[in-house]
Structure 1
Amino acid sequence: MTTPAPKVVVIGAGVIGLTTALAAAHAGHDVKVISAQRPEETVSAVAAAIWAPYHAEPAAWINPWAAATFDILARLADTTPEAGVQMREGIVVNREGSAPLAWPETVAGNRPALLSELPRGASSGTVCTVPIATMPTYLKWLQKECTALGVAWEWRTARSLVLEADPGAVIVLATGLQSLGLHPDDGMYPVRGQVAIIGNTKVDRWIIDDANPAGPSYIIPRTDEIICGGTAETGAASLAPDPETQKRILETTMDLSPGLSKGTFLGSRVGLRPGRHLIRLELRDENGIPVIHSYGHGGSGVTVSWGVANATLELINTASQHPSN
C-alpha cells in the first residue's frame, strides 16, 4: 500500500518559502503557506536578486545548491519570460590588496575582463553571464505557479509551531529573521542592506565591486529599473534609509557607470538579510511535530533557493518515513 504524501505547512512567503512550496506541490504534496507578509512585503522583494553566492555558509552546501538554482533560473530565462528572469553579462571587479571573489570562476564561459572594460581603479576583473530576477515579477510568478498547483494561502501571523501543526503535516519554517519569534536560535542576526533605485536610463551590464574603497558596491540592471548598492551592516536593524549611505551609493555607482547619471533617482529601499553563522536546514522533532528549519541564507536566498527547496523535499520524505506525530 502506498503511503500518501504528507501535508506540508510552509511558514514564510519570501523566495525560500515560495520556492519550497512550489517544489513540494510539484512533488504531489498538499501544501499550505502561512505568512504575515505577502511576498511583495518580504525582504526578498528588496533583493537585487543577481545569482551570486554571498554572505552565507557552509560552502559545501552553498555551492551545489547554487549550481542547481543557476540551471533552473537559466531555463526560466530561456523559456518563461513571464517569470521575470534574464541572463545578463557583467563584470566582477578585482582591486589590488583584496582577494578576488571565488564564485565567478565557477560560471561557465567566464573570461578575464579587458582593460577597456574595467572601471577606474580596478586591477582586473572577471566577465561572466548569470541570471538576474526582477523580484516583484518573479515572486508573483512563484505565487501564481503555487496557486495553480493547489497551494493554499493564509495571510496571518503564525501563532506557534504547535498550533500550526495540522495532523500528519510537516512544518517548514522559512521566515528568515522572523523565525526567532517561533523558535529560539542564538545564531540569527540581521544584515542590513540599503539600495538606491535608478530609472529612465539603460545599463547593459551588471557590476559587482566588493572591494571598492568607498564600500561594497554593485549595479544590477533589471527589466524596468537599476538597483544600485549597497551595504552589509551586520547587526543593524533600522529599516529607514540613511541619507549619507544613499549619497555614497549614488556617487560610487555613478563613478563605476557614468551612464547612471542620465537616469532618474526613484528612491532608496532597505531590507534585513537573515544572517546566521551557518545556514540552517535541519529536520527536528519539536514536541512531537516534524519541523524543518530553513533559514539563515544571508544574501544568497535567490542564489540557493531551488537547491534549498530540493534538499527540503528530501527532508520531507525522511519525515514521512519516520513520522513523529
Structure 2
Amino acid sequence: MSDTVIVIGGGVIGLTSAVVLAERGRRVRVWAREPADRTTSAVAGALFWPYRIEPAELVGPWSLRSLREYVALARDPAATGVRVVAGLMSDTPLVGLGSWARELPELREAQAGELPDGCGQALRGRLPLIDMPAHLRYLEGRLRAAGGSVERRTVGGFGEAAAEAPVVVNCSGLGARELVPDASVFPVRGQLVVVENPGIEEWFVSAGGKAGGGRGAARTTYLFPQPYGLVLGGTADEHAWDTRPDPETAAAIVARCAALRPELRGARVLAHRVGLRPARPRARVEAVQLPGGARLVHNYGHGGAGVTVAWGCAEEAARLAG
C-alpha cells in the first residue's frame, strides 16, 4: 500500500491531480461525493485565463504548465473536449500578464474595427476553450487507463483516507471549508445561461462592471461557443451560497450579451446553470503531516481559475506527495 494515494474530490482539480499521480506510477483512488458532471467544474464556461486567483508569483508558472497541456490536448478536441478558439478579452492590458502570455504569439491589442459596440479596448487572441462535461469524462477515462479508480464516497475527515493510504491529496474545493476546516474558503457564485447558438464562433469576455446585491457582487459579460450551445454569463457574487438560478439575473445576462451581439435577441434558452467557485485569498498547494504519519497534500482554493491552473497545480501536488 506504500504507493497508494487517495485523492479527495472529483472535480477538475481532483481528477487532473489523480491523472498526474497515476501516470507517475502511483496507485490512485479518487473519493468523490458526487459524479464529475454534477461538480462545479462541469458548470464552468472554461476559457483558459488566470481569473480571480492568487498568489500571482505561483499562478504564472501553474498557468504556463497548464496552457502547454491544453494546447497539446487541443490536437484531438473530439476526445479531450479542448479546442483553441479565437476571441476578445476586454478591459485588460497586454502589459503585465505574465510569462504564460508569451506562449500565445497571436495575443495582441485588438483594432478598433474588431471591437463590438460599447467596447473601448480588448486583447485579441486564440486561447484554449474547454467543453467541461466532455473534458471531465476524458480525465476519468485517462485515469482509469493509468490504473486509477473513482469511488463515490462522502468523507468526514482525513483520518478515513489516511487509514487506507500513506498519502492523501485534498482537492475538496469548497468542501475544504468544513473538511480541513478552513474558514478562509468561500463561494463565488456564478450564474450563466446556455442558448442555441445563432452562429457565433468566437468568445468574448468583459470582467468590468458591478452588480447590485450582496457584498463582493461583481458582473461579468461573456460568450463562449461550446459544442452543446452558446454559454452566456455571468456573475461573480462572493459569499453567495444559493445554487438556484435567478430569473432576473438570467434576463440581465442575456440582455448584456445581446447588446454586444444583436443576433442573440430571441435566442432559444437551453439551460440555466449556477456554480459556486471555491475561492480563497490564496490558493493552497502545500503538504502537512497528519497525526499518525500520513502525508496530506492540500490543493484547493483556486476560485474561478481551477481549469486554468489545474495541470500546474497537479504537478506541484504530485511533487509534494513524494
Pairwise same-fold verdict (TM > 0.5): yes
Q: Is the 8 A contact 2:278 2:303 kept in 1?
A: yes
Alignment partner, residue 229 of structure 1: 233
State the identity %: 34
Give the counterpart of 1:37 among 34, 38, 47.
34
Provide Cα deviations, 1:285-304, integer angstroms capped at 9, x if missing partner.
Answer: 12132101110000000000
Q: 1:100 to 1:120 in 2, by over 3 A?
A: farther
Query: What's 1:82 paired with?
Result: 79
The CA deviation at 1:265 is 1.0
The 1-side partners of 2:94 and 2:248 are apart by 28
Superposed displacement of residue 313, structure 1: 1.1
Q: Tell me the equivalent position of 1:289.
A: 294
Amino acid at match of 1:111: R
Alignment RMSD (CA, Å): 1.9
Tell me, yes or no, if structure 1 residue 171 matches structure 2 residue 176.
no
Pairing partner for 2:304 from 293, 299, 303 = 299
Q: Which residue of 2 aligns with 1:273?
A: 277
Matches of 1:101 and 1:170 in 2, distance apart? 41
Aligned equivalent of 2:315: 310
* 2:157 alignment partner in structure 1: 160
Structure-2 change in CA distance of 1:9 and 1:258 (3 Å): same
Which residue of structure 1 lines up, in the alignment, with residue 107 of structure 2? 110
In the alignment, what sits opposite 2:214?
Answer: none
Letter in 2 for 1:35: A
Give the C-alpha shift of residue 200 in structure 1. Answer: 4.3
Q: Classify 1:238/1:249 alpha carbon distance in 2 versus 1 (closer, same or farther; 3 Å).
A: same
Matched, 1:140 2:137: yes
The offset of 1:159, in angstroms, is 2.8
Structure 1 residues 72 and 9: alpha-carbon distance in aligned structure 2, compared to 1, 3 A threshold: same
Cα displacement (A) at 1:103: 3.5
Distance 1:80 1:100 in 2: 28
Give the Cα separation in 2 of the matches to 1:99 and 1:227. 24
* Residue 51 to residue 116, structure 1, CA distance change in 2 (3 Å): same
State the secondary structure of the residue aligned to 2:74.
Answer: helix
2:216 maps to none
Q: Distance in 1 between matches of 2:156 and 2:207?
A: 40
> 1:18 and 2:15 equivalent?
yes
Q: Residues 188-203 of structure 1 correspond to what in structure 2 (within 5 A)? A: 188-203=185-200
User: 1:212 deviation in Å?
Assistant: 4.7
Deviation at 1:166, TM superposition (A): 4.0
Match of 1:323 in 2: none
Given candidates 228, 246, 260, the residue that maps to 2:250 is 246
Question: 2:69: which partner in 1?
Answer: 72
Number of equivalent positions: 311
CA distance in 2, matches of 1:102, 1:276: 23
Specify the alignment match of 1:119 in structure 2: 116
